[in-house]
Amino acid sequence: MKYLKKIKLNSAELKGILYVTDSAVKAKALRDAGEAVLVYFHEGNKEEDFSEFTFGIEDPDHLEDEYTERVYRRLKGLPWNILETERCLIRETMPEDVEDFFRIYSDPAITKYMEGLYPDKEQEKEYIREYIKKVYTFYEFGVWTVVEKSSGSVIGRAGFSYRESYDEPEIGFIIGVPWQRRGYGEEVCRGILDYGTGRLGFREVNALVETGNEASLKLCDKLKFQAVQELCMGDKDYFLLKYFM
């Protein structure tokens, strides 16, 4: 008999059903019907073709609630909530955030030291869709969206990425001009540094800051980053700073 289990998600903010099955035929039928499906792998179905499915398990009787919710969210196109600070929610970015990003990035103060967005909103949305598939899904971290809890407004972005030729993850963040000078940058960065060293197991985190970006350098100093090198990339000079656990 083929295995089929329904897991009900019934919290204040998330309701739905995640199906667990060991049958490729049943899994495809459920997926085609719009359902969220988690594959159960075992010796009896190792010859079946599950290549179209991203998530699988070997022990369906010991599923953690957080993993169940995150799989359901990913399969339903819902963002993972990463962490909360006193005033902010840091969650995965969605294509729907692009409208807010364009408003934030429209201020020249933001793009003075930060790479801009694609010129077309649809290009930016497509980039985010690919980012979800290729970065969030396989690394479980990246650059996230920062939401002010009291208003529900998207106020910036923050998170980790890897830069070519560097072994350590790099922190990056922006806070929209209307929300600057309120301590949001420090609050958010402290939260994600704790998440990176605690949850993700990072032992070192880099920050690459242009030498003229005094606000970011001051924040890095507050966060206990240490300047280890001054370097030139393209036509710009940077400080390489490191945060040690």
89 and 193 in a single domain? The answer is: yes
DSSP string, 196-211: HHHTS--SEEEEEEET
108 and 229 in a single domain? The answer is: yes
Structurally, the chain folds into a number of domains equal to 2
Q: What is the pLDDT of residue 135?
A: 95
Question: Does residue 91 contact residue 74 with C-beta atoms inside 8 Å?
Answer: no
**Range ranked top by mean pLDDT from 142-146, 164-168, 232-236:** 142-146
- Residue 218 maps to which CATH number? 3.40.630.30
157 - beta bridge partners? 145, 174
Q: Average pLDDT in the 96-109 region? A: 97
Q: Which of these three, 20, 41, 75, is where a domain ends?
A: 75
Structural domain of 99? 81-244
Question: Does residue 158 contact residue 192 with C-beta atoms inside 8 Å?
Answer: yes
Rg (CA), the chain: 21
111 and 53 in a single domain? The answer is: no
Residue 162: pLDDT band (50, 70, 90) is very high
69 and 90 in a single domain? The answer is: no
141 and 212 in a single domain? The answer is: yes
Percent pLDDT > 90 in the chain is 91
92 and 192 in a single domain? The answer is: yes
> Is pLDDT of 230 > 90?
yes
Q: pTM here? A: 0.89
110 and 204 in a single domain? The answer is: yes
Length of the chain: 245
Percent pLDDT > 70 in the chain is 100
Q: Average pLDDT in the 53-66 region? A: 93
